[in-house]
Structure 1
Amino acid sequence: MLITADDRLLFIGDSITDAGRDRTDPTSLGNGYVREIARALHTGGSPGPGPTVINQGVNGHRVYDLESRWTTDVIDQRPTVVTVKIGINDTWRRYDSGLLSPVDEFEACLYRILSHTTRTLAAQLVVITPFLVPVTSDQEAWYEDLSPRTDAVLRAARAHGAQLVRADLLLPHAAEEIGPAALAADGVHPSPHGHELLARAWLTAVGTTA
């Protein structure tokens, strides 16, 4: 897919997408992979303005939170490319709060919001899989919940023709080389290097400016 200056790229998800953005400023992109993608698209393409980039990530959100704000935060923005990164909090809350997000319900919810998008917008979908780079032995147990959830994300994404960014493969592979803490000190939130890897993977999967 070729990204041009006419495109409106919208990113939605949890704190990994939010990355400290100023929610009082609609142009704020945070300090993570969304900002890195915007920077690359504005400096690496043709002369002139790059595409519009919108960050709608919110700390702590699960897939159900995305559904509750989907019309306002996605559909009403009229994006031409929608990138969704969700799932790790649906797993994490099970282990730190006992708050369950059954995989079948999670998948059905994700399916609904992707279907809503394809019915309403002529937008390309991009889905970034949830990932974990365990830094404690306790986090290793999370895969019991996260692995089937990642499979659910893949099924929903493929059913809607979404481009896939396999962060679940990318980040653990990188962690084997430089160590998990160098990519995500808590196993979840990427370091600057981790965000750079996500941005590069998105650009490779999706494309660049004309």
Structure 2
Amino acid sequence: MKKCLMLAIVVVMCSFQPVKPVKIVFFGDSITEYGVKPDGFITLFQQKLKDNKQEGNYEAAGAGIGGNKIYDLYLRYEDDVLAKNPDMVVIWVGVNDVWHKRLFGTGTDWDKFAKFYTALIKKLQAKGIKVTICTPASIGEKTDYSNELDGDLNRYSQIIRDVAAQNNCGLVDFRKLFHEYALKNNPQNKDRDILTVDGVHLNATGNKLVADVLYKTLIK
């Protein structure tokens, strides 16, 4: 009887394996790079995990580099993402693919953008990683689509929506969410200082909105 009891205790103890937290890597450009600052969206996301007692179930890390475009992400995904052994990857890129056309005469043609994005997703999915992709939010915050690059940004955002549907990815449509927010909160039609400091990079309100949206989307 005692032997049976001891065996049962051993079996029960062995069955309680420590829960491995789901590791999320945020992968992108300078917006993501700044996300790990004290008031950045990744830091706020991590704080929300703690506040909701989820820090034992999820871990979050950033892998953002300023100036990156989609092909930069493709070239460094092994060293900067796979090396972290993620279960989930959130890709937020596209601003520089559009913006750098005007700033530096570079950028990424729309057809190459779609091909690189699809290839990157397939590489990650082949490793069993769940992928969520995000549309670029803004290059200027005017609500009447009079920002210089609104046309291109809308086109690239639609490419991302299509790529998400075609590759069974999660989608966070920041382009749509930021525009809807600005319609309610930007009556003066300003080009910055609503959710960004310069029309692109997030201010405190923008970081909070992004952290809240990503938390609701990713944490089930």
Q: TM class, shorter-chain normalised?
A: 0.7 to 0.9
Bigger radius of gyration among the two: 2
Residue from 45, 48, 51 that aligns with 1:40: 48
Residue type at the aligned position of 2:168: G
The amino acid of 1:193's aligned partner reads T
Match of 1:185 among 190, 194, 197: 197
* In structure 1, distance between residues paired with 2:135 and 2:209: 14
3-state SS of the aligned residue for 1:69? helix
C-alpha contact 1:42 1:50 (8 A) present in aligned 2: no
Match runs of 1:98-117 below 5 Å: 98-117=105-124
Aligned counterpart for 1:15 among listed residues 19, 26, 30:
30
The reply to whether residue 153 of structure 1 matches residue 160 of structure 2 is yes
Alignment of 1:1-210 (within 5 A): 6-19=21-34, 21=36, 31-45=39-53, 49-119=56-126, 121-132=127-138, 134-135=140-141, 140-179=147-186, 180-208=192-220
| One-letter code aligned to 1:43 | D
**Do 2:21 and 2:56's aligned partners in 1 also have CA atoms closer than 8 Å?**
no
Query: Structure 2 stretches of 5 or more lacking a match?
Result: 1-18, 187-191
Secondary structure at the residue paired with 1:55?
strand
Q: Is the contact between residue 63 and residue 86 of structure 1 (CA under 8 Å) also seen in structure 2? A: yes
Which letter does structure 2 place at the counterpart of 1:17? T
Q: TM-score, normalised by structure 2?
A: 0.81
CA distance in 2, matches of 1:30, 1:114: 29
> Secondary structure of the equivalent of 1:53?
strand
Counterparts in 2 of 1:100 and 1:89: CA distance versus 1, 3 Å = closer
TM-score normalised according to structure 1 size? 0.85
Tell me by how many angstroms 1:162 deviates. Answer: 1.4
RMSD: 2.2
How far apart are 1:177 and its partner, in Å? Answer: 2.2
Distance in 2 (CA, whole Å) between partners of 1:195 and 1:111 is: 27
Give the conservation status (yes or no) of the 8 Å contact 1:42–1:51. no
Q: How many residues align?
A: 196
Q: Which runs of 5+ in 1 are unaligned?
A: 22-28
Contact map agreement 2:95 2:139 (CA 8 A) in 1: no
